[in-house]
Amino acid sequence: MRQITAMLLVVWTAAGPLVPPAEGAELKAATLAAFDRYIRATEARMEDDLREGHFFFVDRLPDNRRHAIDAQLLKGMVEIQRLQTLEEGRTIPIPSGMIHHWVGVIFVPNATLPQVRAILEDYDEHEKFYKPDIRRSKLLERNGNESKTYLQLYKKSLVTVVLNANFDITDTQVTSTRAQTKSYSTRIAEVANQGKQDEHELPVGIDHGYMWRLYTYWRIEEKKSGVYLQVEVVALSRKFPLFLTWLINPLIENIPRSTISGLLINTRKAVIERNAATVGPVVSSPPLGSHP
């Protein structure tokens, strides 16, 4: 599933666009090394999940909690949680940086795995599905199960932020009813003076630090009457000054919830609208985590 990283929307969990930057920031080698360490630990946990039969994050929960969440998903709701990867039980320090790690899942009724993938692979249309946060989207290259894509992100709050970003995407068909995708940012450049005559990109990694890296992981499973769609996002931003903690912390907690919810709901909406002419009424689905 060559999925465009629409989850770039979650970049705003860094809260950078919501507070005027007092100064620029530089991505340091130590920050990037710590992020890479965090990613290795996160992906190791993902592999452990697969070996243990935990395809979705809710599969790790007690049965009563998992069934309660599944009941809500079948009613059209979205389940979202903030995550933190530990290494041997300890927090992984990120010098001069912040990790933003979230996961969300939704149920798409009367859909098939190919139908959901068709929406997620429609790169040139993502600027319509997820506007205004994604202003431009384009498939640059496709080779087998590997793709390269481009996105331009836009966010206007107290300040206006525009980012040009490129991604490498690899998709894997796990089984006939399951698929997963990994999307890694390869270049993120902040655009200065957007829309003006002197519009230009700031040097990569020497900007305001709104987002330096974004890795996105999608997992999809088709059940008898629909598809469960999960997205897990790990983003890297600058570390904000301590005097802004009172403002930043609530934003980091609340913004990604609405952002991930909007992304998943818009994806479901696009699938349903595209298939409206041929899809029948919703029927019951087996519990999340069980197999058809």
- pLDDT digits 0-9 by tens, 46-84: 999 999 999 999 999 999 999 999 999 999 999 999 999
The β-bridge partners of 236 are 99, 213
Tell me if the pTM is above 0.75: yes
Task: Give domain status of residue 11, yes or no.
Answer: yes
User: What does the buried/exposed string (b/e) look like for 205-233 if buried means 16 or more CB atoms within 10 Å of the residue's CB?
Assistant: bebbbbbbbbbbbbbbbbbebbbbbbbbb
Mean pLDDT value of segment 168-189? 94
Domain that holds residue 60: 6-275
Taking only Cα atoms into account, the Rg of the chain, rounded to an integer number of angstroms, comes to 19
Residue 111 has pLDDT above 80, yes or no: yes
Asked if the structure places residue 148 within a domain, the reply is: yes
Cβ 100 vs Cβ 14: under 8 Å: yes
pLDDT at 154: 83
Q: Is residue 281 part of a domain?
A: no
The enclosing domain of 127 has a CATH number of 3.30.530.20
pLDDT of 214 higher than 50: yes
User: How many domains does the chain divide into?
Assistant: 1
252-280 residue pLDDT tens:
555 667 778 888 998 999 999 988 856 45
Average per-residue pLDDT for the chain: 83
Q: What is the DSSP letter of 26?
A: E
Any domain includes 283: no
Taking the alpha carbons of 108, 112, 113, 118 in that order, is the dihedral positive or negative? Answer: negative
